[in-house]
C-alpha cells in the first residue's frame, strides 16, 4: 500500500509540474492565477496522502490551512485587477 501511495503522490506532483508550462506561457494573467489554484488543490491531496504514509496527523492541519487560505490570494488578485490596476 505504501508503495502504491508513493506512486500516487509522485503522479500528483508530476501533474503540478506539467501544469507549470501554463504558468510560464499564459495567454492572460487569469490563467496563471487559475493554475496556481489547481496546484493548491493538488498540494492538499498530496498532504492528505502524506499524512497517511508518514503517519503524521499534524499534516491534516497543514492541509486545513491550505484549504482555508486558498482563496485569499485569488481574491486579492481579483480586487486589485478589478479596477484595471494590475
Partner 1 sequence: MILDLLAAILIASGAFFFVAGTVGLLRFPDLYCRLHALTKADGLGLALIAMGLSLLAGSAAEILRIILIWFFVALASATCSHLIAAHARRVDRERTDD
Partner 2 sequence: MTDPFLLFDLLLAGAIIALAASTLAVRDLFASIVLFIIFGLLSALAWVRLSAPDVALAEAAIGTGVTGALLLKTLHHLRFVTGRLALDTATGFTPEHPVPPAVLWANAALCGLITLGLAVAFLGAPQAGPGFDVLVADALPQSGVDHPVTAVLLNFRAYDTLMEVVVLLAAVIAVWQIERGLTAAPAPSLGEVWQGFARLSLPAIVIVGTYLLWKGAEAPGGAFQGGAVLAAVGLVLLLSRLYVPRPSHRAAARWAFVLGTGAFAAVALLVASGGRVAFQYPIEHAKTLILLIEGLVTISIAVTLAALFHGREPVAIPNERDRDDT
- In angstroms, the CA 38 to CA 1 distance is 26
Which residue has cell 492541519? 61
Using CB under 8 A as the binding rule, the residues of this chain from 4 to 63 that contact partner 2 are 5-7, 9-10, 13-14, 16-17, 20, 23-24, 26, 29, 32-33, 35-36, 39-40, 43, 46-47, 50, 53-54, 56, 58-59, 61-62
43 near 66, Cβ under 8 Å? yes
**CA–CA gap between residue 7 and residue 3 (Å, rounded):** 6
Q: Are 60 and 48 in contact (CB under 8 A)?
A: yes
Binding-site ranges for partner 2 (CB under 8 A): 2-3, 5-7, 9-10, 13-14, 16-17, 20, 23-24, 26, 29, 32-33, 35-36, 39-40, 43, 46-47, 50, 53-54, 56, 58-59, 61-62, 64-66, 68-73, 75-80, 82-83, 85-86
Amino acid at each position: 500500500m505504501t508503495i502504491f501511495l508513493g506512486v500516487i503522490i509522485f503522479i500528483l506532483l508530476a501533474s503540478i509540474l506539467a501544469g507549470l508550462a501554463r504558468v510560464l506561457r499564459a495567454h492572460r494573467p487569469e490563467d496563471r492565477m487559475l493554475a496556481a489554484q489547481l496546484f493548491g488543490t493538488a498540494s492538499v491531496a498530496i498532504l492528505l496522502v502524506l499524512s497517511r504514509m508518514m503517519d503524521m496527523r499534524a499534516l491534516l492541519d497543514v492541509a486545513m490551512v491550505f484549504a482555508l487560505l486558498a482563496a485569499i490570494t485569488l481574491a486579492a488578485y481579483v480586487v486589485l485587477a478589478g479596477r484595471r490596476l494590475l
